[in-house]
Amino acid sequence: MLFPETVWRIHKRDHTVYLTFDDGPHPQVTPWVLDTLDHYGVKATFFCVGENVQRYPDLFAEVKRRGHSVGNHTMSHLQGAHVGTKTYLHNVFRANELIHSTLFRPPHGLLRWAQSRVLRARFAIIMYDLVTRDYSRKLTGEQVFANVKRYARNGSIIVFHDSLKAEKNMRYALPRAIEWLQQQGYKIDAITQL
């Protein structure tokens, strides 16, 4: 792995997986996600885009009020590999003025080594080992759910998206994935400040 100092899986507890959501909060999607998580008694981690937090501060506050953890996903969903380090870091730190978390996930998992070196001094950089691909127009909800069943394992960090692009597939796959994981005996948890 190019960035071994980042977190790809969490092995703290047996038979536990970590549910995460990227790109929100979004008023059309995030409330449904929160209600679904409440229904199943599950806590998750929301990696939020700063611009969305700025647009929907009450919704961001609701995510935290319901007991979920939050992380920084940059101010404007910036991909680190496509911009200079100074620009990228400024974007991340602007987002953190709104999000106030020690957890960070780079959009698309892309960042430069120099960016990683600076960020890991301030954040736990949380990657993933299971991207559901709920955002893909080439996949159905059934296929997204199948990805969870095929790749989930102890310590998995699972990525869904509370975004419009992912909404259709995620609405199908998320409840089924939670039910299936619970039937397999997995505890589903949020990532706390590492």
Residue from 22, 129, 162, 189 carrying the catalytic annotation: 22
55 or 82: whose pLDDT is higher? 55
Is 189 known to be catalytic? no
Q: What whole-number distance in Å separates Cα of residue 59 and Cα of residue 156?
A: 27
Q: What is the pLDDT of residues 35-48, one digit of tens each?
A: 999 999 999 999 99
Residue 132, pLDDT above cutoff 60: yes
Q: How far apart are the first and last CA of the chain?
A: 20
Instruction: Specify the pLDDT at position 2.
Output: 56
What is the pLDDT, as a whole number, of residue 1? 45
Share of the chain above pLDDT 90, in %: 87
Catalytic residue chosen out of the listed positions 68, 77, 161, 189: 161
In the residue annotation, 161 being an active-site residue is answered as yes
Q: Phi-psi bin for 46: left (phi > 0), alpha (psi -120 to 50), beta?
A: beta
State yes or no: pLDDT of 160 exceeds 70: yes
Over residues 2-25, the pLDDT tens digits come to: 566 888 889 877 899 999 999 999
DSSP secondary structure, 102-144, as one string: SEE--GGG---HHHHHHHTTTSEEB--SEE--TT-TTS-HHHH
Q: How far apart are CA 133 and CA 66, in angstroms?
A: 26
CA atoms of 194 and 104, how far apart (whole Å): 11
Q: How far apart are CA 100 and CA 98, in angstroms?
A: 6
